[in-house]
Each structure stands twice: as structure tokens, then as C-alpha cells.
Structure 1
């Protein structure tokens, strides 16, 4: 599948960074410390690192720039260490382990930095409608509207809908241009002697629309009118014409790692693994949460004392603010934060309800809330007001990463889908924090939290923590 105008220098840049990021530091470190066979070791390490990366398709143009690459680089670095340890034992290489570790350290850092810069460059191009995959959507009116709306709601992917071919009656509301229409009834095919795989009326209509719009991908949203043999023949026609073909499963917010494809009795089955709720990973998460909270409180104690003093000197009232929030399984708990508002803020809230900037949900947020103090504005902008929640993490009521802890009055207005947010512990940071915070609509924030609850993993938490630093420095949506 072609992604138009995706820069061709991504792969050479990634390969050059990986190679030089290993070769130069290893050669320099081994030469300066007088270790033997410096050149041979540098070449071996370079080949091992680029080999590991190539084996995982890190230089394939289709994947470059699509993600920040942090977790992939960490995964590859661990494999590199294991591979080099095996080579060390087999060859009897006896250089200093400290020298080897210091020499290899820059490689994953440079690779992750290059991947992040490539991702940002590609994101900027896509915001300018470049480097995109042009998609023609085929299906019944309802599924076509749903798929088109979901693709249009986000910009962190390559797909842009440029047209549609509805099946049956009905009027599209998604705004995608209609470039053909398929009959509600499955067409009757007549096989001529010269034809091996006839494209039929469905294939002819879809191919005509795809060629007219210069589509790169035909995306089918199957329904009662387009399934089984009809869908199979359409795939033949599209693929024989050299176009990419994909089918929307109807599932949303399911991580690829939870999906397993299996062919049984000629049927293509999607097996969906359940969310991680029990086992070693949740136990390890709980241990890391409490360990991280304890270390954080110890190391940040001087900063916490300074911030508490600043809050007390800025306005009347206590330094810490406690509030009842709802945690895992709907259990209420007391959450701690630095006070960022005047002491009687809750009493003043009813008079401000009409000025709520966060419409469409139970949240209350004001961009210029008059109750926020001068120090409070700084604390909110820098997210330093959240630091006392380390006490909640240490007590096991919160996690370092998780959905935003809701208020009881918010939970009272939840629907059945929103209640699923409470199936995991709330966090100091999470998908809401790194995704835009208060600038997100209620539905956008809920979608992020539900995706986290269903697709949680330790590696995903590490990714959120890494993105948190950027979100805090950016300050976007913090008010």
C-alpha cells in the first residue's frame, strides 16, 4: 500500500543513525581504554544492532514515522544485549563490561531520538495533508458513515477518505463523495469462456471509482448486504487490479497485540485476548507504582516543602487540598493535591456553571477560572499540583499511570460504557494527560481512557510516562 509523498530519506537516515550510533562510540571507547580488537568489536556490534533492527523491519518505509519508536527501540536494545552476550561467550572476548555498556549506551538513545524526530516530521506533513493513503470506503450507509467519521476524528494515522461506494439504499451523512453505488442484491455472474476471475458489476463499479479518485486502498465496511461470496469476489477484483484491499472488522480501540487471526474451516476468525487484569504484569505494576512513589517522595521532599510554603504565602488556606474521588471498582478515596484555588472554591462553583468550557460531558473546566490563585496557575501549568498524589500511589489507591480519577458527581452521570473506566486504578498521569488534557472533549477523553483500560500493558505505561514529560513541558490543555 502506497503512502503518497512519504519521504524516501527516512530509511537511509534511520540506518545511518543506527550504524554510526554503535560504530563510533564503540570504536572510540575501546581505543581510548586500550581494549584489544577495537575495530573488530565495533564492526561486530554495528552489524548486530542493524541486523536486529532490520529483522524487525525498522527500516521498512511503511512503518517509519508511524510511531515514536521508544518501545520498539527498547525491545531491540534488550535483544542486542542478549545477542552480544552470546557472542562474547562463544568468542571468549574479555573486554571490560563497564566499557562495553558505556559504548553501547548511545545507540538506542540516538535511534529513539531519530524515530521521534521522524514521527514529528511525518505528523507535520500529515497536518498539511501530505504523505497520506487515499482511501475509498465501500459498504452500507451506516458502516460507511461510522468508518469515515472515526478516521476523520484523528490525525495520527495515514488514512484519508476521498470517496465512497455505498451499497443499497440510504443517504450518506459523513460528507464523503459518492462515486458509485452497488445494488442491494448480490449480482448474478455469467462466466464467459475467456474469463477466469470475472470482476462482475460490483468489481467494475468499485474499480471505476478507485481509478477515478486515484485511491490507494479500498476499505470495505461489511454488513448484511456485503459479505460472504460477494465480499470475496470484490477482493479478487480489487487485488487483481493492483490495489490494496482491507476490511474493517467493526472492533475499535483494540491493541494489535490482543488480536490473533486464525483460519478455521475456510473462515477467517479474529481472536481477541481479554484485558490484563490478573497475573505477573499487574503485580509488577503495583510493585513498581509503590516503589516509584516512595522514591519520588524521598527525592522530591525539598521541592514539595518549597511548593507548600509558596501556596501558604500566596493565599489564605492549607497547602494541601483533599477531595473525594472514585477509584478502582467504584470505591471512593481521598485524593491529595496542592491547593490551586481560593479556600472557598467549592462554594463559588454553582455560580460559574454557565461558564463551563468543557461541554458535552460531566466535567467542569474553565480556561480562566477566577478561583485559581497566582501560584495555582503556575502549579497547574507545570502539573506540579499533582505531586502529592504520590501519597495516594504509595497507599495503593492510585497508580503512576491510569485514567483521570473522577469525582463522585461525575460518576453518577456515567453511562454503562464510561463505568468501564473504573476497571483499572486511576493514575497521576495517563492517556488524558498526554493526549491534550482539558482541550479534549468528553467523548475524546472517554475513548482514550476506555482504550487504556482494555489495552493496558507495562510497556504501554512506559510509553505514557515518556510522553508525560513532553506534555508537562508543553503545558497544552493545562488550566
Structure 2
């Protein structure tokens, strides 16, 4: 009896936590947005008060900006509970609000010929946006840490074929920061007999027609429908109606799993909502911008890190025989071969003894890797752990053979094993870093590495590049997956 009561109390406590933590998170976001507006506008007003008399009009503008700032973010959707933990979307909403307020103030001042201090438009609003971004970033990192500890997770019932359910479970378990935990699955009726009672704690509790009832039984707050032919438009519509009464969210996965963002839009045609998928932008002006950005940043980084590069070269030469730079043939964009530069981390005769080590491969079937490679020098192991050996690839970026961000540069023998799908990795320049770098590095399986590279090729954008470059810092400092 006591066990039953305790289980009931724990379930009630967990349900209460799931209901209240999103509200607490949004309240903290709103408070941070309001304080950001107060600090930015008050700071500008305080500085101007020392050099300029602030009249009633300017004072009214300052008060209006303070009151309008959090309201504008809310109206644009910056406080939407669905965007919790989604950094890119949260940041975009803040930038959008800043642009709208700055435009409204500037245009109103021009049309009414009202003298408005430019400091509010050029300093206060950007400062408020930057403060909001820092606050939201700190909240998001704290949320991710709690999710990795098993807190603040959405309870998900997955509907689909068993292999797809297992794949989604593996991905959500690997990337806990997304905040979803599978608590039950619904599969086709003919698969029930051949499946285990449960996988990693979540059971199979029904078929496709039981999804709404199962979600209510396990106190789920989300139903995720994976791509499967049995669930047509009529079945999904009925499931939506059933979930509507309970307030449980419904997510439907597209068959185009790796295509996302601005490439996808819904267009009504003859009364049907058709999904329009734009082609990936692999040529044209955006690629030109990327190329210019890569070369400018590479040139600046080479100048800034020149003392570090010279120090690394001296350490390599002093601790082992051979040149400081290692040159290797790699395959670049369009299958073109180029010479990749890296700081040497192995003994000079490393390639000649590779055949003797193939039986000890810790790689993923295509990439040869050893966790404890005897060819790696002591200083080389340290360079590899923090990816300092790859700084020499800035030369390749400056020469236009590589990009700062892109798929991993493959060896010719690896490309020889590529299938048609994998060859899409060669549609863009290889990168010094990429999704593979910030998602596990050498610990990734071959299939996962390919999936991440193809996701990058399909959804590339300059904003994505900046996000990956930012995440690379923490991945490198952590040193996980590097050997």
C-alpha cells in the first residue's frame, strides 16, 4: 500500500513539475527582457544627462522604449513557450523586435520632424538586444544542463514503425538538450508480437489507433508521429481532434528528415496544403559571401595566432624528428584533390606502419582511428585533444580549398567507398569544423557522420556557420571525442 501511495505521489510531483517549469522559464525570460530595456535605455539617458539637457520629449521617449521593449518581443513571439531552448529561433525574435522598434522610432521621427537623440536608436536598442541575448543564452545553457540530468523533459509518445522509433530514441538519448524523453510507443498491429515488452524503460502500449489514449494513460504532453504510409491525412486529422481535448501537442515528422528551415514552406494549391521544398543554395551570391567571409576570417586568424603557430612548430621540431607540417592528399569540392596542411602529431614514418595497425581499428568501418595510437607523439596527443593541429588548415581556407565550416575533408580511399547519397558531401567545400565537430567528433558512427554532413549540405546558411563556429569552442575545450 505504501509503495502504491509513493508511486502516486511521485507521479503527481513529476506532472506538477512538467506543468510549472515552462511557466517559470518564460517568467525569467520576460523579467530579463524588461531589465535589459531598463538598463540599456537608462544607461544612455544617464550618459546624455552629463553632456546634454534631457527635455520632456526625450524623457517620454526613454519611458516609452522601456515599456515597449518587452511588449514588442512578446508580440513578435519571443515569449512563445514552443521556442523554449531553441537558441536560433529565440535570438531571431529578439533581433526582429530590435529592428522593428528602431525602424518605428526612426521613421516616426522623420515624418513628424521630431528631434530624437540618435543614441537611443544606435546605442540603446542594440544594447538592449545584446543584453537579452546574453540573458537568454545563460538561461538556455542552464536548461540544457538540467535536461542532461533528466529534468525539464517533455514526455513523448512516439507513433511509427519500430526501426524509426528506435532511431529516434537513440538520437534523443544522445542529444538530451532537446528536452524530449520517449515514455511509450505505438506501432502497427502486425509488429506487436515480434517486439520486446519495453526498450530502455519505455513500453509498446498500442497501435496507431490507440495513440491518444496511450498519451493520456502515461501523462504525456507530446505525441510524435513518424513518417509511415498507414497514417494518411484522415487518420492524422482524427488524431488531432482527439488530442485537442487534452491539450497534448502533436508533432509530425516529414519524410524529408534532414531538410529544414527556410527551404520548406506550405503552399495551398487547389485546397490542398502542399509542402514546397526549395533546392539547396550551392551556388550564387550566398556562396560568394561565404567564400569572402572564410578568407577574411582565415587571414585575420593567421595574423592573430601567428605566435601560437610558431610556438607549436618549435615544440614539434624540438620533441621529434621531422617537419612541423604534415601534408596529405584529401578530396575537396566536386571531387578535386588538394593538399591538406596539419601540424604533425605522429612519428615521421606513421603512414608506412599503418597497415600493421589495421586490425586494431577503433574507427567506424570507413574511417581509421585508434584511441591509443602508438604513432602519436606526446606533444601530438595534446595538439589533437584540443584540435590545435588543425590550425594549419587556415592556409587551405585562405587558398580557397577549404571552408571554415563544412563536411569533414575525406581521404581518396574513403571517397572510393562512397555511395551515390554520400557523394553529396562533395557538393560543398570541406571545413575545418562542422556539425561532426560539435556533435561527438571521432566518437560518431559512420552513419551519424554522414547524416550530419548531409544535413549541413542541405541546410547551409551563414547563420548556421556562425552557430557552429561558436559551438566549436566549447567542443574543443572539452576535448571529448578527439583521438
Give the 5 Å matches for 1:286-435: 286-358=291-363, 360-435=364-439
**Number of equivalences:** 455
1:58 corresponding residue in structure 2: 78
Q: CA deviation at 1:373?
A: 2.1
Determine the C-alpha separation between the residues in 2 that align with 1:242 and 1:9: 19
**1:166 pairs with 2:165:** no
**1:275 pairs with 2:275:** no
Contact 2:212 2:239 (8 Å CA) reproduced:
no
**1:92 pairs with 2:97:** no
2:131 corresponding residue in structure 1: 110
Contact 1:402 1:425 (8 Å CA) reproduced:
yes
Determine the C-alpha separation between the residues in 1 that align with 2:245 and 2:44: 55
Q: CA deviation at 1:316?
A: 1.0
Give the 5 Å matches for 1:26-41: 26-33=41-48, 34-37=51-54, 39-41=59-61
Contact 1:140 1:225 (8 Å CA) reproduced:
no
More contact order relative to length (CA 8 Å, sep ≥ 6) = 1
Q: CA deviation at 1:87?
A: 4.8
Q: CA deviation at 1:57?
A: 1.6
2:11 corresponding residue in structure 1: none
Contact 1:3 1:158 (8 Å CA) reproduced:
no
Determine the C-alpha separation between the residues in 1 that align with 2:164 and 2:433: 34
Q: CA deviation at 1:285?
A: 0.7
Q: CA deviation at 1:149?
A: 5.2
What SS is found at the alignment partner of 1:118? helix
Q: CA deviation at 1:240?
A: 4.0
Determine the C-alpha separation between the residues in 2 that align with 1:40 and 1:364: 66
TM-score (norm 2): 0.84
Taking structure 1 as reference, are residues 45 and 313 closer, same or farther at Cα in structure 2, changes over 3 Å only?
Answer: farther
Q: Deviations over 1:325-354 (max 9, x none)?
A: 111011110011111222111122222223
Taking structure 1 as reference, are residues 231 and 344 closer, same or farther at Cα in structure 2, changes over 3 Å only?
Answer: same
What SS is found at the alignment partner of 1:471? helix
Query: Unaligned stretches of 5+ in structure 1?
Result: 183-201
Query: Unaligned stretches of 5+ in structure 2?
Result: 1-16
2:204 corresponding residue in structure 1: 178
**1:6 pairs with 2:21:** yes
Q: Deviations over 1:171-195 (max 9, x none)?
A: 346835222336xxxxxxxxxxxxx
2:3 corresponding residue in structure 1: none
TM-score (norm 1): 0.85
Coordinate RMSD, CA, aligned: 2.8
Q: CA deviation at 1:427?
A: 1.0
Q: 1:229 aligns with which of 226, 234, 249?
A: 234
Determine the C-alpha separation between the residues in 2 that align with 1:416 and 1:281: 26
1:193 corresponding residue in structure 2: none
Taking structure 1 as reference, are residues 352 and 41 closer, same or farther at Cα in structure 2, changes over 3 Å only?
Answer: farther
